[in-house]
């Protein structure tokens, strides 16, 4: 049913920490692996080893540069997958009812046996979270690893989405964002978690934690820095003698050539 | 958006077919017998042919009947229902007119209303999408319905009415282009809002997630050269609106003006519809740094 539930019992989703993501793409691979071997049609690749490889992925990592007037540029790795929106426009446009949002946990899913592959849901999603599988002709999207998180056959620590389980930097967190006391909700509150494209009115469940400011602390970034300063600018003793001796060897110019002096002497 | 031929053919010809059915339903002119047969044949060929073409872009067309289930929320599902209802009701009207020489006026009015509603549903599939600011305007349904009336009138031989409607459609077309060219900037969706990083400085796409292409880029990040688009707009304006508008409005006797105006109109509208898709900027392109932020 493509009518969105007015409320869901839980709001399961991800909190993605842009401060700690190192852009290793491990979550992309674990996502592709799990979702190719488990729920629904496998995520196909076309021309995988040819000149124009292309494939279906449910999770992709962009990288953005932030440039400022008086501060160093910053690189932010940006994982993007389905945000399991409360007001999911992809669900309401679906003509067949294949797309739906679950009342019990808010996960947005596609029932592949009902999907006609019209692609309208992918058009309706502002985030590019849905991709049509080229071989199956059905829409694929993040399932929040619905076949892991409730799976009693897995050890308890594995009952989280594959991307969360695999992230070596612990940049991805999974939990109930509808419960203000949950770890993920507290993370969002503490770190100022944000919505992507809030003006689109989709009310995403997934939140992003902004990178912490780094420029302000740049001066005292390394506590060892003062001990690693060069101790002497002008060498003395044996090093001083060696320095002068080397300068006298023909062809070796002064260590810090003065462009004006060079012009005056007429030498290059 | 990717200008798929199936969707271009679908929107152009179903619009023309339903436009004809509107006039046939209203009894303008009240045709019966063989005349009616050929008019209805043309209208059904275009409306049904267009709808069949739309099935070609489905990944799993064998399940197309399931598209009738979600009319409560989905414009695509509503379109399926309304198109079939319009074709069925007008089928009764056509049957009576062709075989019994009878004009069932109330059935015709109902069929005409449903035919307009079918074109409206088609246009709303595009106009509803907030993700494509160029389409997300009331001008989209207004323009497509006016075009359907204009083309339908031209095909039914209402030359002066068709000429007026095509001139009106031309004005709406230019307005749609003008408003559309600024729509993405006005929507407020930028790379800054897409990443939530805008308050930290200028955000630029540094590295895409993949070296090759993917479904999103092929389907939603289609780009047309500015010069190329400007030329096509001129072609669309001249062939789709200018030439047919002038030919249909001038008091030239005979069927020759219509015989030139109608094909010219169809070719021009096909070019305009190609642009309607090709120039439509989906906001997901922002994530790939493909749209001016």
pLDDT tens across B243-263, in order?
999 999 988 888 888 899 999
Query: Are the CB atoms for B83 and B117 separated by under 8 Å?
Result: no
What's the pLDDT score for residue B223? 85
> What are φ and ψ of residue B290, in 5° steps?
-95, -10
Percentage of chain B modeled with pLDDT above 90: 84
- Asked if the structure places residue A7 within a domain, the reply is no
Range of the domain at A75: 12-217
Instruction: Kindly state whether residues A200 and A82 are assigned to the same domain.
Output: yes
How many A-B residue pairs are in contact by the CB < 8 A criterion? 197
- In degrees, rounded to 5, the angle at the alpha carbon of residue A88 between the alpha carbons of residues A86 and A91 is 130
Strand partners, A46: A54
Query: Are the CB atoms for A44 and A92 separated by under 8 Å?
Result: no
Whether residue B293 has pLDDT greater than 50:
no
Strand (E) or helix (H) holding A54: strand A54-55
Spatial distance between the Cα atoms of B168 and B162, rounded to a whole number of angstroms: 10
CATH number reported for the structural domain that contains residue A180 in this entry: 3.30.70.20
Q: In Å, how far are A9, B14, B99, B142, B222 from B114, measured between CA atoms?
A: 41, 13, 23, 16, 34
pLDDT tens, residue by residue, A162-171: 999 999 999 9
From B89's Cα to the closest Cα of chain A, the distance in A is 23
- Asked if the structure places residue A5 within a domain, the reply is no
What's the pLDDT score for residue B256? 85
Q: Does A246 touch chain B (CB under 8 A)?
A: no
From B143's Cα to the closest Cα of chain A, the distance in A is 21
What's the pLDDT score for residue A249? 81
CB contact under 8 A, A132 and B215: yes
Annotate chain B with three-state secondary structure. CCCCHHHHHHHHHHHHHHHHHHHHHCCCCCCCHHHHHHHHHHHHHHHHHHHHHHHCCCCCHHHHHHHHCCCCCCHHHHHHHHHHHHHHHHHHHHHHHHHHCCCCHHHHHHHHHHHHHHHHHHHHHHHCCCCCCCCCCCHHHHHHHHHHHHHHHHHCCCHHHHHHHHHHHHHHHHHHHHHHHHHHHHHCCCHHHHHCCHHHCEEEEEECCCCCCCHHHHHHCCCCCHHHHHHHHHHHHHHHHHHHHHHHHCCCCCCHHHHHHHHHHHHHHHHHHHHHHHCCCCCHHHHCCCCCC
Instruction: Kindly state whether residues A213 and A166 are assigned to the same domain.
Output: yes
Computed over every residue of chain B, the mean pLDDT equals: 93
Instruction: Kindly state whether residues A180 and A253 are assigned to the same domain.
Output: no
What's the pLDDT score for residue A252? 63
Query: Are the CB atoms for B217 and B288 separated by under 8 Å?
Result: yes
Instruction: Kindly state whether residues A159 and A245 are assigned to the same domain.
Output: no
Residue B99 CB contacts under 8 Å (≥ 6 apart), including other chains: none
Instruction: Kindly state whether residues A61 and A148 are assigned to the same domain.
Output: yes
Q: Does A53 touch chain B (CB under 8 A)?
A: yes
- Asked if the structure places residue A158 within a domain, the reply is yes
From B272's Cα to the closest Cα of chain A, the distance in A is 21
Instruction: Kindly state whether residues A119 and A246 are assigned to the same domain.
Output: no
3 state SS of A63: strand
Residue A7 CB contacts under 8 Å (≥ 6 apart), including other chains: none
Name the A residues in 198-217 with CB < 8 Å from any B CB.
198-201, 208, 210-211
Instruction: Kindly state whether residues A18 and A77 are assigned to the same domain.
Output: yes
What's the pLDDT score for residue A259? 54
Instruction: Kindly state whether residues A208 and A244 are assigned to the same domain.
Output: no
Spatial distance between the Cα atoms of B14 and B22, rounded to a whole number of angstroms: 12
Name the B residues in 128-147 with CB < 8 Å from any A CB.
128-132
Among candidate residues B131, B3, B132, the one with its CA nearest the CA of residue A125: B131
Spatial distance between the Cα atoms of B291 and B279, rounded to a whole number of angstroms: 11
Strand (E) or helix (H) holding A44: none
Among candidate residues B168, B113, B217, the one with its CA nearest the CA of residue A128: B217
pLDDT tens, residue by residue, A222-242: 677 777 777 767 778 888 888
Spatial distance between the Cα atoms of B199 and B219, rounded to a whole number of angstroms: 30
- Asked if the structure places residue A38 within a domain, the reply is yes
Spatial distance between the Cα atoms of A76 and A26, rounded to a whole number of angstroms: 16
Instruction: Kindly state whether residues A34 and A151 are assigned to the same domain.
Output: yes
Looking at the 3D structure of chain A, how many domains does it have?
Answer: 2
Instruction: Kindly state whether residues A156 and A25 are assigned to the same domain.
Output: yes
Q: Choose among B58, B61, B284: nearest Cβ to A128.
A: B284
Spatial distance between the Cα atoms of B215 and A41, rounded to a whole number of angstroms: 16
Whether residue B90 has pLDDT greater than 70:
yes
Q: Does A115 touch chain B (CB under 8 A)?
A: yes
From A201's Cα to the closest Cα of chain B, the distance in A is 9
- Asked if the structure places residue A2 within a domain, the reply is no
Spatial distance between the Cα atoms of B246 and B133, rounded to a whole number of angstroms: 33
Query: Are the CB atoms for A22 and A171 separated by under 8 Å?
Result: yes
Query: Are the CB atoms for B71 and B40 separated by under 8 Å?
Result: no
Instruction: Kindly state whether residues A148 and A244 are assigned to the same domain.
Output: no
- Asked if the structure places residue A47 within a domain, the reply is yes
Q: How many CB atoms lie within 10 A of CB B267?
A: 16
Least confident interval from A217-221, B19-23, B275-279 = A217-221
Instruction: Kindly state whether residues A212 and A251 are assigned to the same domain.
Output: no
pLDDT lower than 70: segments of chain A: 215-222, 232, 252-268
Pick B189 or A223 by higher pLDDT: B189
Q: Does A68 touch chain B (CB under 8 A)?
A: yes
CB contact under 8 A, A63 and B131: no
| The residue count for chain B | 293
CB contact under 8 A, B216 and A131: yes
3 state SS of A240: helix
Q: State the complex-level ipTM.
A: 0.93
What's the pLDDT score for residue A260? 55
Q: In Å, how far are A95, A120, B17, B79 from B123, measured between CA atoms?
A: 15, 13, 15, 9
CB contact under 8 A, B72 and A3: yes
- Asked if the structure places residue A6 within a domain, the reply is no
Band of the pLDDT at B54, cuts 50, 70, 90?
confident
What's the pLDDT score for residue A265? 52
From B190's Cα to the closest Cα of chain A, the distance in A is 8
| The residue count for chain A | 268
Strand partners, B182: none
pLDDT tens, residue by residue, A31-70: 999 999 988 899 999 999 999 999 999 999 999 999 988 8
Strand (E) or helix (H) holding A61: strand A59-67
């Amino acid at each position: 049913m493509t009518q969105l539930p007015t409320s869901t019992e839980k709001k399961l989703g991800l909190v993605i920490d842009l401060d700690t993501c190192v852009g290793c793409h491990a979550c992309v691979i674990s996502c592709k692996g799990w979702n190719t071997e488990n729920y629904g049609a496998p995520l196909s690749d076309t021309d995988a080893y040819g000149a124009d490889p292309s494939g279906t992925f449910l999770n992709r990592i962009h990288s953005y540069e932030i440039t400022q007037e008086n501060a160093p540029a910053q690189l932010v790795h940006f994982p993007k997958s389905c945000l399991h929106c409360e007001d999911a426009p992809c669900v309401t446009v679906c003509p067949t009812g294949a797309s739906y949002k679950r009342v019990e946990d808010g996960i947005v899913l596609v029932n592949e046996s009902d999907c006609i592959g019209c692609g309208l849901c992918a058009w309706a999603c502002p985030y590019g979270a849905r991709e049509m599988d080229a071989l199956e002709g059905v829409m694929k999207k993040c399932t929040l690893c619905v076949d892991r998180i409730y799976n009693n056959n897995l050890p308890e620590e594995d009952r989280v989405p594959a991307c969360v389980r695999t992230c070596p930097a612990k940049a991805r967190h999974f939990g109930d964002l509808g419960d203000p006391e949950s770890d993920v909700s507290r993370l969002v509150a503490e770190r100022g978690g944000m919505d992507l494209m809030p003006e689109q009115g989709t009310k995403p469940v997934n939140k992003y934690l902004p990178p912490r400011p780094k420029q302000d602390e740049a001066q005292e970034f390394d506590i060892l820095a003062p001990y690693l300063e060069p101790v002497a600018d002008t060498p003395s003793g044996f090093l001083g003698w060696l320095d002068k001796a080397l300068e006298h060897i023909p062809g070796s110019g002064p260590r810090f050539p003065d462009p004006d002096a060079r012009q005056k002497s007429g030498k290059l | 958006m990717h200008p798929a031929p199936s969707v271009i053919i679908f929107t152009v010809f179903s619009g023309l077919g339903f436009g004809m059915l509107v006039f046939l339903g209203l009894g303008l002119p009240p045709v019966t017998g063989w005349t009616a047969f050929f008019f209805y044949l043309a209208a059904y060929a275009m409306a049904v042919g267009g709808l069949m073409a739309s099935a070609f872009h489905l990944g799993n067309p064998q399940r197309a009947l399931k598209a009738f289930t979600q009319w409560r929320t989905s414009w695509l599902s509503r379109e399926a229902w309304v198109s079939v209802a319009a074709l069925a009701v007008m089928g009764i009207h056509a049957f009576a007119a062709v075989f019994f020489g009878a004009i069932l006026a109330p059935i015709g009015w109902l069929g005409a209303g449903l035919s307009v509603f079918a074109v409206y549903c088609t246009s709303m599939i595009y106009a509803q999408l907030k993700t494509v600011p160029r389409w997300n305007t009331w001008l989209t349904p207004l323009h497509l319905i006016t075009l359907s009336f204009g083309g339908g009138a031209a095909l039914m031989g209402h030359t002066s009415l068709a000429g007026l409607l095509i001139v009106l459609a031309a004005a709406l077309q230019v307005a749609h282009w003008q408003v559309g060219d600024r729509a993405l900037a006005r929507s407020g969706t930028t790379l800054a809002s897409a990443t939530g990083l805008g308050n930290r400085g200028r955000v630029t796409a540094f590295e895409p997630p993949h070296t090759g292409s993917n479904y999103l880029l092929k389907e939603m990040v289609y780009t047309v050269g500015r010069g190329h688009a400007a030329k096509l707009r001129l072609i669309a304006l001249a062939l789709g609106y200018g030439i047919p508008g002038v030919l249909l409005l001038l008091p030239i006797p005979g069927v020759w003006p219509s015989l030139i105006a109608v094909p010219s109109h169809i070719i021009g509208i096909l070019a305009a519809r190609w642009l309607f898709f090709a120039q439509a900027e989906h906001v997901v392109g922002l994530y790939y740094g493909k749209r001016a932020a």
